[in-house]
Amino acid sequence: MQNAAEATEQIETILRTESLTPLFQPIVDTRRRKIYGYEALIRGPSASSLYAPFNLFRAATLSGHLVEIDHLARRLAIRRFTRLGLEGQLFLNVMPQTLLQEDFQGGVTLAALREEGLDPRRVVIEVTEHCPIDDYDLIRNALQHYREMGFLVALDDLGDGSAGLRHWAELSPDFVKISRHFCEQIERDPTKRKFVGFLLEVSRSLGCEVIVEGVERVEEYRCLWSLNSHILQGYYFAHPMENPPRSIEHLLLPESAPRPSSDPARTAMAIYRPQEPIAADASLSELSQRLSQLNGLRSIAVTQDDNTPIGIVHRDDLLAIFSNPYAHSLYGRRKVEAFVRKDALIVSEETPLETLSRQLTDCSSCSRQDFLVVDAAGHYRGMASIVDLLREMTAMQVKNARQANPLSGLPGNLLINETLAKSLAQERPFVAVYCDLDNFKPYNDHYGHARGDEVIVALADILRREIEGPEDFIGHVGGDDFMLALFDLDRWRGMCERTLTTFEQLAPTFYDEADRQAGGISGVDRQGNHSFFPLVSITMAALPISPGCHRSPHELSSILSEIKHKAKLQPGNTLFVDRRSYTVPGTDLQSVPNAGPHNYSGGSKGHAEDVSGVKESGAACLLPERGR
C-alpha cells in the first residue's frame, strides 16, 4: 500500500509539472439529435499507477493536497475544453469534501473561466453521490456560491450510495445522473425500467433534467428512448478521449423512429419477465432437461432462428408425453416445433395494459394463462401471465382511486399534472382544454350544494361519453373545473362540440319550472348587486400544443386560465380556441380559419368559437423551451 511520503512526492510532482490529462465524454440529447455537453474526466500520468482517478485522488487525500489537485484538474479541463472549441455544457466533477476544506478558495473556478473566456452558465458542477455528506448546510452554501456565479449543479451517480434521494431533496440539483447500474440490461429488467420511470416522473415535477449514464448497447438506448429518457451518456456513443467527437447523429435512431405512444409503466413492458426461450429445432429431450432444471417454470417460449416466437410449450403437456415409460425412446429426438402450442397470445411491449386486458378477455382460444411479449420488430422479449397483469392493473386502480376526485370519480390534480407532464415530455401534439361552468355559483347559492353537485356530476358523465379517443384524458380539477388532454387530433373539435350540444340540451332540466320558463334565475353577483343569471352553460378554452414545447403543467394551466377568462366574455356554451398554437404539422389544427367569432347552428344560444386568441400573436410555439 502506498504510504504518505510516496503519495506526497508523486502528487507534488504532478502539481509542479501539471501532468494531468483531461478526457471528455459526450452527453447526448437524443431528442434534439445533438451533443448536449461533455463530462471532463481526469487522468494522472500515463506511466504511473496514479493514471486511474481512484488512485490519483486517494493519493491526493493521503498527501493533504486534495484541494490543489481538484483545482488543477478543473483548470486544465476548462483550458482544454475551450481550446478544443467544444459546444454545449462542460460537466466538472467535484467531491463534496473539497468544498469544505479550510483552504478552499471559492473564486478559483471562476478565475479559470475568465482566463479562457468561458461563460459560467455553460458549466455544470457535478457533486458525486459516492462521497458522504455530513453537513448539508455547508454543502448547500457552497453550491449556492456557485449558482450565484451562474453555474448549474448536477448530482452524480444517483443510486450508488446510501443517501441518494436525500442528496436530491437537500441539494435541489439542476441535473440528476442515474448510476450506470440501472441502465445495464435495462431492456431485460422490468424493475430497472420502473425505477428509471419513477425517477423521470419525479424529475419532471421538480423541474430537473435526468441523465442516464452507462449506455453501452443499442438495446439499452432503444429501451431508454421508449421510456422518454433522452439525455444519455455511455460507451455506446463514445469512450472518454482527449479529442472527443463533435457529432453522434449516425448512432441515433432515425428521426422517423416511432415515439412511444403510451406510458411504459402502463404497458406490457411493465409486466413481462425476461426468460430464455428454446429454439424450435431443439429436441424434446433438450426441452425436458431445461424444464427439469427450472422447477418453478410453467411454460417456455419457442422461437425461430431470428428470435421470432411461434408459440409456447407447457410443462404439463410435456409431463403427459413422458408419462409413458417408452416416451424418451419414441419422442426424445423429435423437434420441439412439433409440440408447440401456437394459440398463445403474442403482444407488443407497447400494448396498453387496458387493451391487453380486453384482448385476454376476448381470447377464448388462448392457451393457458401465459402469453408472449415482443418488441416493435416482432422479436421475443419475454413472458408474462394473467396474474402479472391483474397485479399491475390492481395497483393502477388503487393509485387512481386514491388520487381521484371523490365527487366525479375522475382523476384529480396529481394525475392531471402527471398526465400533462408526460405528454409535454413525450413531445406529442395534443390539445389541452380547460372546461368549466358559467353561472354556476348563483345556481349553487339558489338551489343548494346538493343540486349543484348533481350538475357537476352530470357534466362529468357527459365528458365521459363524448370524449371517446382511446388515449384522451379527462381530469377533475375541483368544483366545476375540468381539464382535458385530447390526442385524437382528427376528432377533438367534434367531441368538444358534442359536449356543448349535449349539455345545452340538458341544462334546462336542472331548474324548477318557473326558472326554466324565465330562462334563468335572479340572484346576487360577486359585487353584491342583484342580477339575472341565464341557464348554466359550459366554457371550453382550447390550447393546441405543438411538439417541442417543454414547459411544466403549472405554466400550461396558467396560460389556459388566461384563455378561459377571455373565453368567458362570450355568452352561452362556448368553445374558444387560441390561434397562437395552430402549428401542429400534419393535423387538422392547421386548417382552423384565422378569423373572428363564429356561431355554430344549435340551440337558442348557439356555440360560439373565438379563434382570435388572448393576444394577437403568430408565435410558432406558445410554450418556449426552458433555457439551460
pLDDT of residue 328: 66
pLDDT of residue 72: 92
Task: Kindly tell me if the per-residue pLDDT of 76 is higher than 90.
Answer: yes
Instruction: Name the fold adopted by 408-610.
Output: Alpha-Beta Plaits (3.30.70)
Task: Name the strands in the sheet holding 473-478, side by side, starting at the edge strand that comes first in the sequence.
Answer: 473-478, 481-486, 430-438, 537-545, 574-577, 607-610, 598-600
Percent with pLDDT over 90 in the chain: 31
pLDDT of residue 331: 67
> Cα Rg for the chain, rounded, in angstroms?
31
Q: Of the candidates 392, 386, 368, which has an alpha carbon nearest to the alpha carbon of residue 299?
A: 368
pLDDT of residue 243: 95
Name which of 82-86, 295-299, 487-491, 574-578 the model is least confident about.
Answer: 295-299
- Residue 257 is given by DSSP the state S
Give the other-Cβ count within 10 Å of 411's Cβ.
Answer: 20
Which whole number is the average pLDDT over 361-381? Answer: 78
Task: Kindly tell me if the per-residue pLDDT of 474 is higher than 90.
Answer: yes
Q: Of the candidates 502, 490, 423, which has an alpha carbon nearest to the alpha carbon of residue 463?
A: 502
Task: Kindly tell me if the per-residue pLDDT of 36 is higher than 80.
Answer: yes
Which whole number is the average pLDDT over 214-241? Answer: 90
Instruction: Name the fold adopted by 269-392.
Output: CBS-domain (3.10.580)
| pLDDT tens per residue, range 321-335 | 766 666 666 666 788
Strands 430-438 vs 370-374: parallel, antiparallel or unpaired: unpaired
Which whole number is the average pLDDT over 556-570? Answer: 83
User: What contacts 24+ positions apart, CB below 8 Å, involve 565-568?
Assistant: 566/541, 566/610, 566/614, 567/539, 567/540, 567/541, 567/610, 568/438, 568/539
- Residue 344 is given by DSSP the state -
The residues facing 484 across adjacent strands are 433, 474
Residue tagged 481538484 (cell numbers): 70
Task: Kindly tell me if the per-residue pLDDT of 105 is higher than 60.
Answer: no
Residue tagged 478552499 (cell numbers): 104
Task: Kindly tell me if the per-residue pLDDT of 30 is higher than 70.
Answer: yes
Rounded to whole angstroms, the Cα distance separating 263 from 267 reads 7
* Between 187 and 583, residue with greater pLDDT: 187
Rounded to whole angstroms, the Cα distance separating 562 from 554 reads 13
Write down the mean pLDDT value for the chain: 80
Rounded to whole angstroms, the Cα distance separating 406 from 413 reads 12
* Between 473 and 367, residue with greater pLDDT: 473
Burial class of residue 586 in the structure, from the number of CB atoms within 10 Å of its CB (0-12 exposed, 13-18 middle, 19+ buried): exposed
pLDDT band per the 50, 70, 90 thresholds, residue 35: very high
Burial class of residue 594 in the structure, from the number of CB atoms within 10 Å of its CB (0-12 exposed, 13-18 middle, 19+ buried): exposed
Name which of 81-90, 94-103, 169-178 the model is least confident about.
Answer: 94-103
Rounded to whole angstroms, the Cα distance separating 391 from 148 reads 48
Q: Of the candidates 54, 66, 52, which has an alpha carbon nearest to the alpha carbon of residue 11?
A: 66
| All structural domains of the chain with their residue ranges | 4-250, 269-392, 408-610
pLDDT of residue 364: 61
Rounded to whole angstroms, the Cα distance separating 253 from 266 reads 24
Rounded to whole angstroms, the Cα distance separating 152 from 417 reads 26
Which whole number is the average pLDDT over 294-306? Answer: 82
CA-to-CA separations, 499 to 457, 460, 539, 564, 589, in angstroms, rounded? 14, 10, 11, 17, 19
Which whole number is the average pLDDT over 314-325? Answer: 74
The rounded Cα 15 to chain-centroid distance in angstroms is 44
Name which of 278-292, 351-365, 501-515 the model is least confident about.
Answer: 351-365
On whether the pTM is more than 0.75, the answer is: no
Q: Of the candidates 570, 536, 573, which has an alpha carbon nearest to the alpha carbon of residue 447?
A: 536
Task: Kindly tell me if the per-residue pLDDT of 509 is higher than 80.
Answer: yes
Task: Kindly tell me if the per-residue pLDDT of 616 is higher than 50.
Answer: no
Task: Kindly tell me if the per-residue pLDDT of 530 is higher than 90.
Answer: no
The phi-psi region of residue 368 (left if phi > 0; otherwise alpha if psi is between -120 and 50; otherwise beta) is: left
pLDDT band per the 50, 70, 90 thresholds, residue 626: very low
pLDDT band per the 50, 70, 90 thresholds, residue 590: very low
User: Would you say how long the chain is, in residues?
Assistant: 628
Rounded to whole angstroms, the Cα distance separating 395 from 390 reads 9
Name which of 43-57, 166-180, 571-585 the model is least confident about.
Answer: 571-585
pLDDT of residue 448: 93
pLDDT of residue 166: 76
Q: Of the candidates 588, 595, 500, which has an alpha carbon nearest to the alpha carbon of residue 544?
A: 588
pLDDT band per the 50, 70, 90 thresholds, residue 551: low
With H, G, I as helix, E, B as strand and everything else as coil, classify residue 594: coil
Residues 551/556/557/562 CA torsion (nearest 10 deg):
130
Task: Kindly tell me if the per-residue pLDDT of 68 is higher than 80.
Answer: yes
Rounded to whole angstroms, the Cα distance separating 2 from 295 reads 51
* Between 421 and 456, residue with greater pLDDT: 456
* Between 526 and 312, residue with greater pLDDT: 312
The residues facing 304 across adjacent strands are none
Q: Is 496 in contact with 540 (CB distance < 8 Å)?
A: yes
φ and ψ at residue 114, rounded to 5 degrees: -65, -40
Helix extents (H) in 211-280: 218-226
- What is the dihedral sign for C-alpha 97, 99, 103, 108? positive
Give the other-Cβ count within 10 Å of 147's Cβ.
Answer: 15
Rounded to whole angstroms, the Cα distance separating 621 from 480 reads 29
pLDDT band per the 50, 70, 90 thresholds, residue 504: very high
Instruction: Show the cell assigned to 114.
Output: 475568465
Task: Kindly tell me if the per-residue pLDDT of 619 is higher than 80.
Answer: no
Q: Of the candidates 31, 32, 24, which has an alpha carbon nearest to the alpha carbon of residue 81?
A: 24
Rounded to whole angstroms, the Cα distance separating 229 from 196 reads 9
Rounded to whole angstroms, the Cα distance separating 241 from 279 reads 42
Which whole number is the average pLDDT over 279-304? Answer: 81
The phi-psi region of residue 554 (left if phi > 0; otherwise alpha if psi is between -120 and 50; otherwise beta) is: alpha
pLDDT of residue 188: 79
Residue tagged 353577483 (cell numbers): 525
Domain 4-250: CATH superfamily is EAL domain (3.20.20.450)
Which whole number is the average pLDDT over 351-360? Answer: 81
pLDDT band per the 50, 70, 90 thresholds, residue 303: very high
pLDDT of residue 405: 86
Q: Is 221 in contact with 232 (CB distance < 8 Å)?
A: yes
pLDDT band per the 50, 70, 90 thresholds, residue 370: confident
pLDDT of residue 161: 56
pLDDT band per the 50, 70, 90 thresholds, residue 507: very high
